[in-house]
Amino acid sequence: MKRGLYTALLHLAMPLALARLWWRGRREPGYRRNIGERFARYQAPRPSEADRPLIWLHAVSVGEVRGAAPLVRALREAYPQHAVLVTCTTAAGRETIAQVYGDSVRVAYFPYDLPWVVERFLEHFRPRIALVMETEVWPNLLAACRAHGVPAVLANARLSEKSARGYQRLGTLARSAFASFAAICAQDDGSAERLRALGAASVTITGNLKFDAEPDEAKLAEGRMLKATLGARRVLLLASTRDGEERMLLDAIGAAPGNALLVVVPRHPQRFDEVAALIAARGLALARRSRGEIPGPATGIYLGDTMGEMAFYYALADVALIGGSFASFGAQNLIEACAVGVPVVLGPSSYNFPEATRLACEALAALQVPDAAAAALAAQALLADDARRAAMAQAGVRLCAAHRGATLRHLAVVRDTLELRASGPG
């Protein structure tokens, strides 16, 4: 595909994109706010030449925003004279930026990948460098960055075999886009090989930034306090579940084994009420975190219907079943559970975290099972086996400690890229 055809199709899709924003805004009002930013129109005035130079990082949604936190902290420490702009695509991502970074960064929605929009975005913010998290590859944006002399770095890059095949079908459009990156920081060898095959020129294996993330100590303490009130009662966590998985897992688990408390934390906030209704329809006694309700002895399920509190839920858990892995969503972040010392069970779909899954299973910090029924049996066995849970917990903590360091390796790539830009023409 040629970039001109891609751009024409994108223009044709704009009415649908705007309709989708309005439709999603029914349940998440954030989608109906700041729509002008998606076309690079801002209420704040354009920064002047006297303003601080700017580092721009794009993190599409909640997981990427949280995963970028160690890198953003390191950038602010290494470049205190620079401002940091963090963009996102989703309303939940924007809320998470506010939770994680507060007023320490500027925030805006990511611009649509139309030539006139990305030109206006770059002219407004004039970033010194663009850092794009994981798999966000936008041809017009990358071409505009190249034209403006803004080096683009693909950070914490992961590329599954399935995604690589999809990019290959785009032909020269994808190859030109990947070749436009000044540098790519790949999570693992497999991603690095696939990125090079797609035309990426400068690929460094840096590891996964998510191993460097530090759990929120206040939320950990709060979760442990609640756990202490449960006494000997065990807690089984369904972590970051996706559409259809709650029904699947509840069917497999049935009544929580051994009178365990079942904690269900849906991945997306727009599904909180839907999942609450699903639980209520089964006649199960429910407490909701968002209402300040505390699970008592008769509570069967505690619904984690809040954002930014995974550390709280992991501190509460004895075993975690990782959402996104039982339906075909590629799994959510199992590293968070390992870092807190929670034994992990995940299903067959793990293409978003292939290396972390392999490492966790090899370290005996996690079990990967073929389906929800097998997960229910594995969870029941683990809840009854204190020694095995303790061994898996220790293995998870050791695994995370052994694989830290991606932030410093990313920072070295950023430093080299900025120095190369400074020494080049213009």
| pTM assigned to the model | 0.90
Residue 3 is assigned to a structural domain of this protein? no
Residue 1 is assigned to a structural domain of this protein? no
Q: Does position 84 have pLDDT exceeding 80, yes or no?
A: yes
Average pLDDT over residues 350-368: 96
Residue 6 is assigned to a structural domain of this protein? no
Same domain, 297 and 354: yes
Residue 88 is assigned to a structural domain of this protein? yes
Residue 127 is assigned to a structural domain of this protein? yes
Structure tokens at 42: 């801002």
Q: Select which of 64, 95, 134, 245 is catalytic.
A: 64
Same domain, 39 and 67: yes
CATH code of the domain containing 363: 3.40.50.2000
pLDDT higher at 422 or 234: 234
Contact 7/140 with Cβ under 8 angstroms?
Answer: yes
Same domain, 262 and 150: no
What's the CA gap between 240 and 309, in Å, rounded? 11
Active site residue 64: yes
Q: What is the span of the domain harbouring residue 79?
A: 23-207+405-423
Same domain, 222 and 314: yes
Residue 105 is assigned to a structural domain of this protein? yes
Same domain, 66 and 193: yes
pLDDT higher at 49 or 313: 313
45 confidence band (pLDDT: 50, 70, 90)? confident
Same domain, 45 and 117: yes
**pLDDT value of residue 425:** 54
Same domain, 249 and 378: yes
264 confidence band (pLDDT: 50, 70, 90)? very high
Residue 8 is assigned to a structural domain of this protein? no
Structure tokens at 97: 């930026």
Same domain, 309 and 363: yes
Same domain, 191 and 228: no
Same domain, 314 and 273: yes
Same domain, 370 and 228: yes
Same domain, 221 and 273: yes
Residue 288 is assigned to a structural domain of this protein? yes
Strands 183-186 and 152-157: parallel
Q: Does position 167 have pLDDT exceeding 90, yes or no?
A: yes
79 phi/psi in degrees, rounded to 5: -130, 65
pLDDT in tens, 88-130: 999 999 999 999 999 999 999 999 999 999 999 999 999 999 9
pLDDT in tens, 400-422: 999 999 999 999 999 999 998 77
Task: Lay out the sheet containing 286-288: strands in order across.
Answer: 286-288, 301-303, 261-266, 235-241, 319-322, 344-346, 366-368
CB hemisphere CA count around 315 (13 angstroms) = 19
Total of domains in the chain: 2
pLDDT in tens, 125-143: 999 999 999 988 999 999 9
Average pLDDT over residues 264-289: 94
**pLDDT value of residue 133:** 96
**H helix intervals, 55-113:** 62-67, 69-78, 91-101
CATH code of the domain containing 175: 3.40.50.11720
